[in-house]
């Protein structure tokens, strides 16, 4: 697939990644601009989570480049990647169950970033009113949807330029999915870029600008989401 090099805020080019001797990513290339919401669509095992972990430095890629604001980051450890302005919300959420909501948020705090309004408790509680009502409650007592919201809020406390969300709607009740969609749109309006993996196409269509279809560890199709070819989607993503 042809693409303009170094065009994006986050630019992944020809990335290869392995678990042991098993290759998972094959020349993976994708990108996201500031203020975009971009989705990776694909079946389980297609390589979406490995792509995210490679970007964050959790999995060390073997070949290819990852540029963030023009800086190569593919060899950086996760804490340095986060320090540059990338935030990651994993599929399994990983709240600190024995800390309160306020304490979880404080764990994620990082310095302000030029060009972005810093996230404060007040702004986050306006974005997540359910968390405001329970701010002194232990995170382990929250529902799955509330824990998802808390993990996103904790990530925003790091004042990221790009937030990576892995299957954010999975396992959530429809009313919580509706709230999550509205929240992601609000975050986008703040100038934060969002890269997410999803299997819920209807959810993705409500919030995303562009889509990459992922198949066997590489991008097989790219399109604005409102122009997504249904035949291509069925071919590569339907279960």
pLDDT band at 115 (very low <50, low <70, confident <90, very high): confident
Residue 33 lies in a domain: yes
pLDDT reading at 121 higher than 90: yes
Q: Beta strand 193-198 with 162-166: parallel, antiparallel or unpaired?
A: parallel
Residue 43 lies in a domain: yes
pLDDT band at 239 (very low <50, low <70, confident <90, very high): low
- Residue 171 sits at φ, ψ, to 5 deg, of 80, 5
CA distances from 35 to 68, 179, 193, 222 (A): 14, 20, 4, 18
What is the spatial distance between Cα 105 and Cα 219, in angstroms, rounded to a whole number? 35
pLDDT band at 226 (very low <50, low <70, confident <90, very high): very high
Residue 2 lies in a domain: no
Residue 4 lies in a domain: no
Residue 160 lies in a domain: yes
Specify the CATH number for the domain of residue 183: 3.40.50.300
Contact assessment for residue 141 and residue 150, using Cβ atoms and an 8 Å cutoff: no
Residue 1 lies in a domain: no
Residue 140 DSSP symbol: G
pLDDT reading at 3 higher than 60: no
Report the b/e string of 108-119 with b at 16+ CB within 10 A: beeeeeeeeeeb
Tokens of 190: 């703040």
- Residue 133 sits at φ, ψ, to 5 deg, of -70, -20
Contact assessment for residue 22 and residue 41, using Cβ atoms and an 8 Å cutoff: no
Helix 144-156 × helix 174-189 angle, to 10°: 10
Contact assessment for residue 210 and residue 187, using Cβ atoms and an 8 Å cutoff: no
Q: Containing domain of residue 51, as a range?
A: 10-237
SS3 category, 144 = helix
The 10s digit of each residue's pLDDT in 138-147 is: 999 999 899 9
Tokens of 19: 């678990």
What is the spatial distance between Cα 20 and Cα 11, in angstroms, rounded to a whole number? 25
pLDDT average, residue stretch 50-60: 97
The pLDDT assigned to 114 comes to 84
Residue 3 lies in a domain: no
Single pTM value for the model: 0.93
SS3 category, 52 = helix
SS3 category, 61 = coil
Domain count, the chain: 1
Looking at the chain, the whole-number percentage of residues with pLDDT higher than 90 is 79
């Amino acid at each position: 697939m042809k693409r303009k090099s170094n065009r994006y805020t986050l630019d992944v080019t020809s990335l290869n990644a392995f678990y042991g001797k098993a290759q998972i990513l094959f020349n993976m290339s994708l990108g996201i601009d500031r203020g975009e919401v971009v989705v990776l669509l694909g079946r389980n095992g297609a390589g979406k989570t490995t792509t995210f972990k490679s970007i964050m430095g959790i999995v060390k890629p073997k070949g290819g480049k990852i540029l963030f604001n023009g800086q190569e980051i593919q060899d950086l450890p996760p804490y340095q990647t986060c320090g540059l302005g990338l935030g990651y919300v994993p599929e399994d959420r990983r709240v600190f169950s024995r800390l309160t909501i306020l304490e979880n948020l404080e764990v994620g705090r990082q310095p302000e970033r030029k060009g972005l309004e810093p996230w404060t408790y007040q702004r986050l509680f306006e974005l997540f009113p359910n968390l405001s009502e329970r701010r002194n409650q232990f995170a382990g007592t929250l529902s799955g949807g509330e824990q998802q919201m808390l993990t996103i809020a904790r990530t925003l406390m790091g004042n990221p330029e790009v937030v990576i969300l892995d299957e954010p709607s999975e396992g959530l009740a429809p009313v919580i999915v509706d709230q999550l969609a509205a929240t992601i749109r609000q975050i986008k309006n703040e100038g934060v870029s969002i890269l997410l993996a999803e299997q819920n196409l209807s959810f993705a269509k409500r919030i995303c600008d562009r889509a990459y279809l992922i198949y066997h560890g590489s991008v097989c199709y790219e399109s604005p989401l409102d122009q997504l070819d249904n035949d291509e989607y069925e071919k590569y993503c339907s279960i």
